[in-house]
Amino acid sequence: MDLKGLEAVAKTIRALSIDAIEKANSGHPGLPMGCAEIGAYLFGEVLNINPKDTSWFGRDRFILSAGHGSMLLYSLMHLAGYEDVTIDEIKKFRQLKSKTPGHPEYGWTDGVETSTGPLGQGFANSVGMAIAGKRHAARFNKEGFELFSGRIFTLVGDGDLMEGISYEAGSIAGHLALNNLIAIYDSNRISIEGPVDITLSESVRKRFEAFNWHVIDVDGHSLDSIKRGFDEAEIARIKHNRPVLIIADTIIGKGSPNKEDSNTCHGAPLGKDELEKTKKNLGITSDFFVDPAAVDYFGKKMAEKRNKYDSWKSMFNEWKGKYPELNELFNKNFARDIDASAFQNLPAFAPNSMHSTREASNKVLNAICKDIDFVVSGSADLACSTMTVIKESGDISSKNFLAHNIQYGVREHAMGAIANGLYLYGGVLPIVGTFLSFVNYMRPTLRMAALMRIPTIFLYSHDSIYVGEDGPSHHPIEHISELRLIPNMNVMRPCDPEETKIAWELALTSKHTPSTIITTRQKVRTLDYSKLESYTNAKRGGYILKRESKKDKIDMIFIATGSEVSLVLDVAEKLESEGYSIRVVNMFSTYLFDHESAEYRESVLPSNIEKRVAVEAGVSMTWYKYVGLKGDVIGIDKFGISGKAEDVGVFFKFTNEDVYNRVKIVLNK
């Protein structure tokens, strides 16, 4: 261990962090200063990385779950030679369009493994990455060819560990014995509001031991102690087959004479005066100081890492020659492309046959995925209800990572973040599902997927009041509309088994947009497309499902989604029999429709037709975008009620007769 080199790195982290934050007049100096030694040791002595090949499959991952400490990461990435993080970009910390945004952003700064900031997300992403790593190791490693020996390191703060998601994810990690996961807890006993003991009395050690982790204590400012900790972690994770938590006793803002060990340095610049005192205290003689000894140290270390990388590449090349079939699978998995042929010859559903779309969804999913290794589906203890199961594969367990299903337990929030982590690791396309009403438990993870532009697939069943007996807490009302409001989220609500096929095709082939597929609990009628327009137009989001009977005359446009489509078709038929000319538009996905051209949208919803009625068993507010001030929305703007699904439907006036009567008012206006 090059003690002098590491100390120079720690000094550089502190110097860059405090200057960048001061210049931005915004940021969190406490963490980078408090974790400077840990960061130096981790990046210098531990991580197997290659900044010139940031998508190297065999690398170690580092996740800064406490994303507000971003200057720790940027300082280290700069020293390690990540091309995006130049000294000029560090000087533009937190400025518009710089490569050094306030929190680390995946897809924006090359080398950042995931976007962090909302606490606990990064930790749970790490658990997902660790599962992916274990799965690939089980699939592709061969004796003498440890392609996937990469470890996942994550740095968490008190805030991460107070969030419920970190308990859920920690419990799963212990359950699955993820011995490729090493979390470092920056235990500085300070949060934004003051000493952590105003809110936290629990024993973090005991808690992680309860989860079956191996726990190690280190002095976070002693490089000797840190070395012993990481050495022990490396041995213990293999010996005990457990994830490891290193509790690092640190001092927040260490180096600041008057602000260290207090919440004053957590989330605000040190201030000119204290900045000068800190620099003097640390022997920093210039602005944005980079210690030449740190540069030397990283020069040597990165050369060593480069050699390891080259060895890995040689091993990989040898492996390719020796296992050509595995290599083919490897390439398929990491490309995550599904051949168009997989969407052919899917199960047939007879016109007018009755199926729930959750059931149809499962049949379609299984038909598509039967030969696809990289799809991993799972649920939060509702696999049999939401029907997420990929059959004949079993569940991933600590003893078998080669299955297609994960049992997440009743842990929706961790499930979503683990799915995002599975995707980010590479080689896995995750699907996660539960009841739609429980999407509320995992909302941050949908947003993070959309923000990171990763195509995680979220599957929600039991999509409306037709859940019936379970009552209002289980009846989605606002949920579908809410999800449609998330930027870059494709929410699809298929109306029948055929349209469900389109939903899966779009979800499984999406590259930068997460998908939400919404299915029914109850049976719905498979439409008879011989009498309608083709459902393949669902790919455009909103489409004419039934054309008006009269040429050049539309008396009204009906807009519906999901289980309400067949209802609307029935009413339209009755109205047609009375002589009205009615168009029915299936608004399968507002996201896709809104991304179509103005011309296409006009062709579906001509602006001169103001008589429009939207029907969805959920809140009405969002539908005025499509029906305007002169249209009507038949929705549900109050909470549900427990009862048989049919009775509840009657209660909320979602019968053919009720809809017919409402529509007649519009027609007679």
Q: Which stretch binds a copy of itself (CB under 8 A): 288-296, 421-429, 641-649, 657-665?
A: 641-649
Residues 414-443 that bind a copy of itself (CB under 8 A): 414, 437-438, 440-441, 443
Residues 384-413 that bind a copy of itself (CB under 8 A): 384-385, 395, 397, 407-413
Residues 320-379 that bind a copy of itself (CB under 8 A): 379
- Interface with a copy of itself includes 200 (CB under 8 A)? yes
- Interface with a copy of itself includes 653 (CB under 8 A)? no
Alpha helices in 64-180 (DSSP H): 70-80, 87-91, 121-140, 158-162, 164-175
Q: Which stretch binds a copy of itself (CB under 8 A): 20-28, 79-87, 144-152, 291-299?
A: 20-28
The minimum distance between CB 365 and a copy of itself, in angstroms, equals 18
- Interface with a copy of itself includes 665 (CB under 8 A)? no
Nearer to a copy of itself, 375 or 619 (CB): 619
- Interface with a copy of itself includes 488 (CB under 8 A)? yes
Which pairs count as long-range contacts for 270-275, CB under 8 Å and 24+ apart, including other chains? Answer: 270/18, 270/21, 270/22, 270/29, 271/22, 272/22, 275/18, 275/19, 275/22
Distance CA 78, CA 89 (A): 9
Residues 604-633 that bind a copy of itself (CB under 8 A): 607, 610, 619, 621-622, 624-626, 628-630
Residues 156-175 that bind a copy of itself (CB under 8 A): 158-160, 162-168, 171-172, 174-175
CA 173 to chain centroid, in Å, comes to: 17
Nearer to a copy of itself, 54 or 642 (CB): 642
**CA-to-CA separations, 376 to 140, 329, 343, in angstroms, rounded:** 16, 15, 18
Distance CA 601, CA 599 (A): 5
At position 511, the amino acid (one-letter code) is: K
The minimum distance between CB 448 and a copy of itself, in angstroms, equals 7
Order of strands across the sheet with 556-560? 542-546, 582-587, 556-560, 612-615, 632-634
Residues 128-147 that bind a copy of itself (CB under 8 A): none
The minimum distance between CB 416 and a copy of itself, in angstroms, equals 11
Least Cα distance to 103 among 55, 59, 69 occurs for 69
Nearer to a copy of itself, 175 or 308 (CB): 175
Q: Which residues touch 121 (CB under 8 Å, ≥6 apart)?
A: 65, 114, 115, 165, 417, 420, 444, 445, 448
- For a copy of itself, what does the binding mask look like between residues 106 and 125, x meaning CB under 8 A? ---------xxxxx------
Active-site pick, 412, 499, 564, 616: 412
Distance CA 255, CA 250 (A): 12
**Is residue 173 within 8 Å of residue 213, measured between CB atoms?**
yes
The two three-digit tokens of residue 551, written as one number: 């040429």
Residues 455-474 that bind a copy of itself (CB under 8 A): 468-474
Distance CA 136, CA 152 (A): 14
Residues 43-102 that bind a copy of itself (CB under 8 A): 67, 94-98, 101-102
- Interface with a copy of itself includes 288 (CB under 8 A)? no
Q: Which 8-state DSSP code applies to residue 319? A: H
Nearer to a copy of itself, 103 or 355 (CB): 103
Q: Which residues touch 120 (CB under 8 Å, ≥6 apart)?
A: 65, 159, 160, 161, 163, 164, 165, 166, 169, 417
- Candidate list 1, 53, 88, 203; residue touching a copy of itself; CB under 8 A: 203
Residue 412 known to be catalytic: yes
Nearer to a copy of itself, 570 or 658 (CB): 658
Instruction: Write out the catalytic residue numbers.
Output: 412
